[in-house]
Amino acid sequence: MLCGIDVGGTHTDAVLIGPEGVVACAKLPTNHDDLLASIREALSSIVAVAGPAAIDRLTLSTTLTTNAIIEGTADAVGVLVSGGPGIDPEAYRQGGHYHVLAGAIDHRGRETAAVDLDAAKAAVDAWLAEGLRAFAAVTKFSTRCPDQELALRDLLAGRADCVSLGHEFSGRLGFGRRIATACLNSAVWRVYNRFCDAVEQSVADLGMTAAISVLKADGGTMPLSVSRTQPVQSILSGPAASVMGIIAVCDIAEDSVILDIGGTTTDIAVFAAGAPLIENEGIAIDGRPTLVRALRTRSIGVGGDSAVTVSRLAIEVGPRRFGPPMALGGKVPTLIDALNVQNVIAVGDPRASYQGLLDAATPHGFDPEEVAEAAILNAVNQIRSEVAAVVREINDRPVYTIFELLEGRQVRPTRVYVMGGPALALSALLQDAFSEEVIVPESFAVANAIGAALARPTFSVELFADTAAGRLTIPSLGVARSVSGNYSQAAAEGEAGASLRDYLASIGADVDDAPIETVELSSFPMVEGQELAGHNIRVACQVRPGVSGAYKQAVSKQC
C-alpha cells in the first residue's frame, strides 16, 4: 500500500491507500518547531492501523526547504563563477561570498580560456577560514561542457560538505537561473539532509521497510536518496500536493480553478482543458529566478487560522497567523472563530470564539455577529479577487500546461474545485461569490496527502550532440562522451529515451507507469568555411507529472 504525508502550515495530513481505496487517514497539528515530530506522529497513526509491513512506499511533502529560505536559516554559500565574454556574472551575484573567475566556454562547449584554479583556491581558503562548508560552482555553457565545473569540484574535494554544480540541475540554458539554483541548493543542503537522516531513523524505528520518496515542485516524486543531492527540488512541494491531489480524486477535463484552503494559506491553481499549468522555465525563489520546474500556483495569506483584525475602517482576515483559533485555545480570533459564531461550523468551544470576537468588536462599536459576517465575506472576496487576477495573468501571455504550450488560447474556467479542511464550510459562500460551479470532492480534507501518495516520478533529460566537435553530453545524468561524425538525430532521440528509462529503473521507478515522451527534437547543420562540418543535435525527453494509474481508480470519484 501507498502512504502519503503532507506537512502543511497548520496541519499534517496522512493517508494510506490500497487497491480498494483509502484505508486510513489522519489530520494532526503541525509542530513548526519540529516538523519531523509531526511526520513521526502522523506515520505512527497510520502504522497503528495497518502495521509497518503493509506500507510499500512512503511519499512526503514538506515545507522544510521553503521555510529555511524564508526564515533565513539556510547556510551561507561560497559561489565560484566563470562567465567569459558577454554578460557580467556580477549581474547574478548571490550573497556575500561570490567570486568571479577568469575562464570561458563557448556556446558549442569549447574551452576558450582556462578557469583560474589558483584564484579559486585563494577564495576557497578564505571562505573556509570563515567557517563556510557549502559551495556552488557555475560556469557559462557548462551544459555543453562541464569540465570547468568538475575541475572546481575536484579543487573542493575533501574540504567541503556540499558542492552544487550548475550543469547538474537542467540541460536548459540560463546562466543567471543556473547560478541561483546551485546556490540555493547548497544553502538548504545541510538542514535538508539532517531531516532525511531523521526520517530514515523514524521509519526504521517503526519497523518499516518502505521505499521513501519526496514530492517535487513539479508534482513528481524523487527517491529520498536522490533528493539529498538536490534538495532545492522539494521547494513548494505543498502546493504541488494540492494539484496532484485533485488530479487523483477527480477526473477534470475542463478549464478549472483549484483552491486548497488550509489553516495558513489558500493555494490557487488553474487547469486548462484538464491539465495543470507549469512554470516551464523555472520558478522564482526568494525573488531569484531558478531552473526549478514547478506547477504554477499562487498562495495568499487566507486560511482557517488566519487572524481577524478589526478597526473602524475595515474588518479583515490574514495574512498573518498567530496560532490556532480561540475555539481551540488560541489567543487571537481567526476565520474559524468567525465561522463558529455564524454557526457555519462547530469547532472546539464556540463560546471562546464568541468571546474573542466580542473583545475585538466592542472597542470599535461592532457586535460579534457583525464582525464574523464581515470577516467571512472579506476572506471569500480576497480569494475571488486573487483567482480573477491569476486568470488574467494567464491570459495575458502564452503559458505551458504539463502537456503543451498554450498560445492564443484563452483560459475560461467553468468550475472551481475546493479542498482543504475549511472547504465544505466555505463552499456555499464561495458559490455565492463565483459564477462558476463550486465543487467539493469527497476526500476534500486529505486530498493533498492523497496527491503525495499517488504521484509518480518525474524527470527530464536534455541530450546535446555536436558531431563536428565529436562531443555528446546529457548534463542532468552526468554523461559526457565522444560521438562520431555520422551520429544521427534518430540515434540521439533513442539514446536520450534509453538513458532516461535506465535512470528511472535505477531509482526503483515503475517504468511501465512512467511514460517517456520526446518534447523537443532539433538538428542544425554546422558550416565551417563553405563546407558542412557536422550537426548540432538537441533532444529533450521527460516523464510528465501524473498519478499512479493502478491506484487512481480506487480513490477517484465523480466530481
Interatomic CA distance for residues 336 and 315, integer angstroms: 15
Summarize the confidence of residues 98-105 as an average pLDDT: 94
Interatomic CA distance for residues 232 and 246, integer angstroms: 24
Q: What is the pTM of this model?
A: 0.84
Contact present, 464 and 225 (Cβ < 8 Å): no
Interatomic CA distance for residues 213 and 538, integer angstroms: 30
Contact present, 398 and 405 (Cβ < 8 Å): yes
Q: Which grid coordinates are listed for 373?
A: 459576517
Pairing between β-strand 399-401 and β-strand 315-321 as defined by DSSP bridges = unpaired
Fold classified for 251-440: Nucleotidyltransferase; domain 5 (3.30.420)
pLDDT of residue 558: 66
Pairing between β-strand 57-61 and β-strand 2-7 as defined by DSSP bridges = parallel
For the stretch 156-205, pLDDT in tens is: 999 999 999 999 888 788 999 999 999 999 999 999 999 899 899 999 99
Q: How many residues does the chain have?
A: 559
For the stretch 123-144, pLDDT in tens is: 999 999 999 999 999 999 998 8
Specify the 3-state DSSP secondary structure of 467: coil
Q: Which of 257, 229, 265, 226 is nearest to 457 (CA)?
A: 226
Q: Find cell 521553503 and name the residue.
A: 66
pLDDT above 90 (res 148): yes
Contact present, 514 and 543 (Cβ < 8 Å): yes
Interatomic CA distance for residues 434 and 416, integer angstroms: 8
Helices (H), 218-279: 224-227, 237-249
**DSSP letter at 547?**
B
pLDDT above 70 (res 406): no
For residue 441, give every residue at least 6 positions away whose Cβ sits within 8 Å of its Cβ, in sequence order, or none: 246, 249, 250, 417, 419, 447, 557, 559
**Phi then psi for 427, rounded to 5 degrees?**
-60, -45
Contact present, 244 and 548 (Cβ < 8 Å): no
Q: Which grid coordinates are listed for 324?
A: 490556532
For the stretch 512-551, pLDDT in tens is: 777 888 988 999 998 787 788 899 999 999 888 888 888 8
Q: Which grid coordinates are listed for 248?
A: 487523483
Q: Which of 143, 142, 177 is nearest to 540 (CA)?
A: 143
Summarize the confidence of residues 328-334 as an average pLDDT: 95
pLDDT of residue 405: 64
**DSSP letter at 231?**
G
**Phi then psi for 401, rounded to 5 degrees?**
-95, 180
306, β-bridge pairs: 321
pLDDT above 90 (res 11): no
Which DSSP string do the residues of 411-458 spell out, in sequence order? Answer: ----EEEEESTTHHHHHHHHHHH-SSEEE--TTGGGHHHHHHHHBPB-
CATH numeric code, 2-67+192-241: 3.30.420.40
Q: What are the residue boundaries of the structural domains of the chain, listed by start?
A: 2-67+192-241, 78-188, 251-440, 459-543
For the stretch 14-29, pLDDT in tens is: 999 998 889 999 988 8
Question: CA 536, 537, 539: angle at the middle one, nearest 5?
Answer: 155
**Identical fold at 2-67+192-241 and 251-440?**
yes
Question: CA 537, 540, 541: angle at the middle one, nearest 5?
Answer: 135
> CA end-to-end span of the chain, whole Å?
24
Task: Provide the Cα torsion 168, 223, 188, 47; round to 10°.
Answer: 180
